[in-house]
Structure 1
Amino acid sequence: MTTLAIPTVTEPRARFRDLVAAEWIKLWSLRSTYWVLAAGALVVTGIDVNSALTNLDWLSQRDAPAPMDPRMRFDTLSSAFVDPAWQILMVVAGSVGALAVFGEYTSGLIRTTFTAVPDRRAVMLAKAVVMTAVTATLGAFVSVTSFGVTQAILREHGGLSIGDPGALRAVVASALLVPLSALVGMAVGALVRHATGSIVTTLVTLILVPAFLQGETYRWVKELGNAMPITAWNALIENPAMDHPPAKYPETITEAWIVFAAWPVAAVIVTVLAVRRRDL
């Protein structure tokens, strides 16, 4: 008898760009993704514009302003980046980032993904690339829109242009705050792998923990607070043309940029290691 050899067919290894394309499709296959992101963008922009309109009304009615007195000057930049509004956007971006990871675990899709692509590290890096691209675009849109509209509203009362001191820095920092938050959410989702637990942990990490680290009694507490993204963002959006009350252990601009660089890198590392070292 003659034995026939059956040739084996080796599937080509998935290219990284193919993984990115697959993650892009998975992200946008959920209607909740673009609804949540769009709603977050509208809410934040609306709050900033409303702040500018409210301040315009107050400035128009203010009696005998003294433009030469620094204490009477109004910081128009603050209307473009209202703290509570951007905290909302941080939570939205962080939740979407967490959903991109825990959503596959809760649905069981992650088993199919890792069966098709055993290289878990490449899969998670592709997720991070897609999430960064989407949320960075969102952050840039909201930041530029908020700045442009609010400063146009306040143009008669010292509205800034992008070339004024501190303006470009504030716009860039606000745009980068969104992907930073999304990547932190991804790291939390990879660690917790539960819907409610991931979202709550993301909220605590991005918003609540920094709120407890604002005291100036102990330097180590303030330094820990300075290492949080929201604190660094507040330092970066500060208008250098305004007189600010002195603070103990203030965060420098260089330190704030370091925080902005360190958190996304750490978040991606945690995401990759958590998936590689833990079973499904």
Structure 2
Amino acid sequence: MTAQTVSEPKAYATAVDSPARFRNLLTAEWIKLWSLRSTYWVLGVGALAVIGINVNSARTNAQRLAHQPELPPAPPPGFPAKPEMLFDPLAAAFVDPAWQLLMVIAGSVGALAVFGEYTTGLIRITFAAVPARHAVMTAKAIVMVAVTLVLGTVVAGTSFGVTQAILQDHHGMSLGDPGALRAVAASALLAPLCALVGMALGALVRHAAGTVVAVVGVLLMVPALFTGETYRWVKEIGNAMPLCAWRALVRNPARDYAAEKYPVPVGEAWGVFGGWALVAAVVMVAVVRRRDV
């Protein structure tokens, strides 16, 4: 009797890993996410806020440029290579405060998907029905990544398209211009990356206020602490954070950043994105499998 009781969860866990069972898990996680009205409001209002900040930046720059001599879009031969003297239309679509807001929104929604079940006790029911915890968390992560990837793509594409249309008389860019497609892709991927980080922190902290504070601290505060260029090791720590990697990927390659110490190469920035996503997913699954509910 005991042997049969012990073997049943193992057999069920194996069954859950089958494609049909896993599709059911995906459906369940999708229903959990969209059954909360806060999901609609947070993602919808957040997307509008991010796009609005970027559009307002473009409008402000367009009005300013309309009343002053035209600035060159890139340094011509013999022009002093000082980025602050040049107008960068790409920067108007990727304003730091806007995308920091998106990072917090995506990270918080990801965290809520995990700690919300712990605070309500729903996680016990979930794991009782599906003993294969790794399958549950994998399905939860896939649904969250899919939703936030759509969010990031819509926000990045809309921000770029609208801002460049506003700046069309001031060297507005198209996706075919150098660096434009990379910037849009990096900004679209920033949302699912931060959602995964939020899920990992939610699994570790398991408390609403503590998790949100951890999300803001890891995604925004830590990079702010490692921005100095006096010591290379300080800057390198900052360069390994998602925010700094994103800033490197949305830069306009037409501008000269030679004066900056210890810049983040494009390849390294993509590596930071991939590394953080992988570590966050592994931490989330490992913590949930080993810790009691």
User: Structures share a fold, TM > 0.5?
Assistant: yes
Instruction: Name the TM-score, length of structure 2 as normaliser.
Output: 0.90
Instruction: Name the TM-score, length of structure 1 as normaliser.
Output: 0.94
Give how far 1:73 is off: 3.1
| Equivalent position of 1:200 in the other structure | 213
Q: Describe the SS at the equivalent of 1:61.
A: coil
| Equivalent position of 1:20 in the other structure | 26
Asked if 1:60 is matched to 2:66, the reply is yes
Q: Describe the SS at the equivalent of 1:51.
A: helix
Asked if 1:95 is matched to 2:108, the reply is yes
The Cα offsets for residues 4-40 of structure 1, whole Å up to 9 and x where unpaired, read as: xxxx9x9793311111110000000100011100111
Give how far 1:66 is off: 5.1
Give how far 1:82 is off: 0.3
1:260 counterpart (273, 278, 285): 273
1:111 counterpart (124, 134, 152): 124
Q: Which amino acid aligns with 2:70?
A: P
| Equivalent position of 1:142 in the other structure | 155
Asked whether the equivalents of residues 71 and 87 of structure 2 are also in contact (C-alpha less than 8 Å), the reply is: no
Q: Describe the SS at the equivalent of 1:216.
A: coil
Q: Which amino acid aligns with 1:37?
A: L
Q: Describe the SS at the equivalent of 1:196.
A: helix
Superposed counterparts of 1:227-238, under 5 Å: 227-238=240-251
Query: Partners in 1 of 2:238 and 2:271 — Cα distance?
Result: 14
Query: Partners in 1 of 2:248 and 2:195 — Cα distance?
Result: 20
Percentage identity across paired residues of the two chains: 64
Query: Partners in 2 of 1:263 and 1:169 — Cα distance?
Result: 19
Query: Partners in 2 of 1:76 and 1:66 — Cα distance?
Result: 11
Give how far 1:244 is off: 2.8
| Equivalent position of 1:5 in the other structure | none
Asked whether the equivalents of residues 242 and 273 of structure 2 are also in contact (C-alpha less than 8 Å), the reply is: yes
Task: Return closer, same or farther for 1:163/1:188 CA change in 2, 3 Å cut-off.
Answer: same
Query: Partners in 2 of 1:192 and 1:84 — Cα distance?
Result: 26
1:51 counterpart (51, 57, 60): 57
Asked if 1:219 is matched to 2:232, the reply is yes
Q: Which amino acid aligns with 1:143?
A: A
Query: Partners in 2 of 1:136 and 1:127 — Cα distance?
Result: 14
1:186 counterpart (199, 202, 205): 199
Give how far 1:217 is off: 1.2
The Cα offsets for residues 142-190 of structure 1, whole Å up to 9 and x where unpaired, read as: 0000000000000010000000000000000000000000000000000
- Structure 1 residue runs of 5 or longer lacking an equivalent are 1-7
Query: Partners in 2 of 1:276 and 1:123 — Cα distance?
Result: 10
| Equivalent position of 2:36 in the other structure | 30
Query: Partners in 1 of 2:154 and 2:254 — Cα distance?
Result: 25
- Structure 2 residue runs of 5 or longer lacking an equivalent are 1-7
Deviates more, 1:208-217 or 1:11-20: 11-20
The Cα offsets for residues 57-76 of structure 1, whole Å up to 9 and x where unpaired, read as: 000001x3353556543100
| Equivalent position of 2:183 in the other structure | 170
